[in-house]
Amino acid sequence: MSIERVNSSCRILSQKLYGLREDPDGSKIAAILSEACRLVRTFDTADPVHSEVVERVARVINAGVRYGYLDLEVDYMPSFAHTREFPLLRGPDTLYRFFPLDAFKLVVGCLKIIFTHFGVQNNSIVVFWLWFLKYIFNLQRPSPWQNTPRPHPSSHALSRFTHIPAPSSSPTFRAISEARCEISSDDAYCEPLRIVSNGSCLVLPSMTGERQRTPFLAYYVLADEKDEGFPIAGRHMFVGLSEVAFAATTDEERKLMFLADSHRIKSFEWADPVTGQIYHEARPTHTLASAKEEGPLAVLQLQSGATLLRAGEGYAALWKLDRLPTHGPDGTERIGKLFKNESSWGWDDDDVEYSAGSKCTGKIKFADRKFAPAFWHPHPGHAEMMLCTTDPAKSGDYSFVSLDLEHGGKTAVRYLGNGGGIARISTSEGDNNVFATGATDGHARLYDTRLPLPALSIRAGTGREDCGGIALIHPDGHPALFTGSTKDQVVRLWDLRARKMLYELSTGNNSVNGMTWDDSTNSLYVCTTCDYVGGDRGTYRRARLPQSMLPEPVPGPRGMPNYDDAGSFVKCWPRQAAHEEGYWGEVFDAGQHRIFRYAFKESPDTVSPAYGETEIRDPNPYGW
């Protein structure tokens, strides 16, 4: 096929797109965009016109996705880059997720009132309609946990299997695929925005204070273990910035955490870089002026040495880490001029540090002077490259690229196939030719670094929610992927070699907004938020415990909100939870923002997270 025929085909596809007048679920647009992707697959990457074909098809995909969201009001774009050879994987999806038990009871109650009001005397009609509704409700309702497969006696009760994993010669992968794990958690006292880690330290940029406007930091040094509760000591601190810090990264060699708002970048040293001694509280080290750059951060080992980068529009500002002034031994010396806090709303100003910071020492200009990365991640196979995405709401571009920072900021490969913005990229040391992405269209995708279209597409949740977290792993060379979503309230494990989902893990009715994998301990760390914290009255109800899970009465303080008249603790359950209490082998609700640790072992102990102490409140205390 010639480039002229490709251009002609793209024009025809564009006409089909703009000829659509309604497409509520996006299926018609997805079918047209799927044809566009097939044009790319007909060309070999060695073909001289391959890059030109990719650019031409990218314009069609961008136009189609924008048209769907803006003109046809599609909420979530369906997957369109999959084929039989490069399939779309789906997990369980049930009617119950959108039609909870409380809603079912409400409908039945309303029908009874209607029948009574209109004087329906024929009991057979009433019985038929109630039976029909119950049948529809139970048609796709999840089976009780006891009726689901369980591959090993040590498989955790907070796991739910859809497939029994195939036998494996790897003991590590067997433990992971059979959900043999210890689950622990730690309360996140402030709402975490994401989780960042490049090895030995987990960084959770957070927000707190009046209207959640004050930047806050929670971090965990993996080597800092403790005996009780969450196995790693958590530390929390104010960071001295004037706005919430959405950008973060770490420098493992220098034991530095970097956080940035729209004005400045601050670094904190969590341990002595020579001895490795962990500080009781991270020490303020650098402040960098970055008012013109609002993009993501990265620390790279370039030919000129260790460099901190922050993306701007058309360039990346850089700071040579070994040449920067510091805040001194006690962390109080000012760097640069006095910072003018013009964006302050007057709240929590006492926590702002007023160093204007060091100016950048150089810039790397991009070949495309309008390219403004909104998120990036180091390329798994090339230290000088970054996988970069833009904000499609601003750029209108739903593709992403690998950017060569040491050769003029040129685009090495453009990747297609996403119907939403990308805010998650995961790589694994087990294979430097693949990476995974998580997008706001509800899908995760697995890419070969050399090819523009995904090798696998995965519906991370229901397909109508953001993909909140991904973690690509290769235990003993076996590829697998963890995914999490914002509404599904589970973590899912996908066997990429078998191309199927194995199981789900409970997050205690919390939404997933980030995850990372620790190879040294075979542990998955998941950052979650509780959508019911600070909600309206009536957010929680008393948990409906299955008969097999009823606890023995334990005396406690009578008269308290969460204790009954006998003094026993009353477990609560969110009214809008994605699952019933019997969906898992044990009842668990987090009731708070939490970070979870799923530690996979061949012979795990029975470890489960503590039940959340939420409160049952009267939805109408004043009788209105």
pLDDT tens-digit map of 196-212 = 998 899 999 998 877 77
Phi (first) and psi of residue 311, to 5 degrees: -80, 140
- Rg over CA atoms, the chain: 26
**Cα 145 to Cα 141: distance, rounded to the nearest angstrom:** 12
Res 430: pLDDT: 93
Residue 462 in this model has a pLDDT that exceeds 90? no
Q: Pairing between strand 511-518 and 500-506?
A: unpaired
Summarised one tens digit per residue, pLDDT across range 578-624 is 888 889 999 999 999 999 999 999 999 988 999 988 877 655 544 44
Burial of 72 (0-12, 13-18, 19+ CB in 10 A): middle
Evaluate if pTM is beyond 0.85. Answer: yes
What residue spans of 23-122 are helical by DSSP H?
Answer: 27-41, 50-70, 101-117
Res 305: pLDDT: 81
Summarised one tens digit per residue, pLDDT across range 150-160 is 999 999 999 99
End-to-end CA distance of the chain: 70
Residue 536 in this model has a pLDDT that exceeds 60? no
Res 520: pLDDT: 92
The angle at the Cα of 421, spanning 417 to 422, to the nearest 5 degrees, equals: 80
Res 594: pLDDT: 94
Summarised one tens digit per residue, pLDDT across range 476-486 is 999 999 999 98
What is the pLDDT averaged over residues 46-68? 94
Summarised one tens digit per residue, pLDDT across range 505-527 is 999 999 999 999 999 999 999 99
Q: Which two tokens stand for residue 415?
A: 């990747």
Summarised one tens digit per residue, pLDDT across range 355-413 is 999 999 999 999 999 999 999 999 999 988 999 999 999 999 999 999 999 888 999 99
Summarised one tens digit per residue, pLDDT across range 229-251 is 889 999 999 999 999 999 999 99
Summarised one tens digit per residue, pLDDT across range 469-505 is 999 999 999 999 999 998 889 999 999 999 999 999 9
Phi (first) and psi of residue 127, to 5 degrees: -60, -40
Res 95: pLDDT: 43
Res 500: pLDDT: 96
Res 436: pLDDT: 98
**DSSP output for 589-612:** ---S-EEEEEEE-SS-----PPPP
What is the pLDDT averaged over residues 30-55? 93
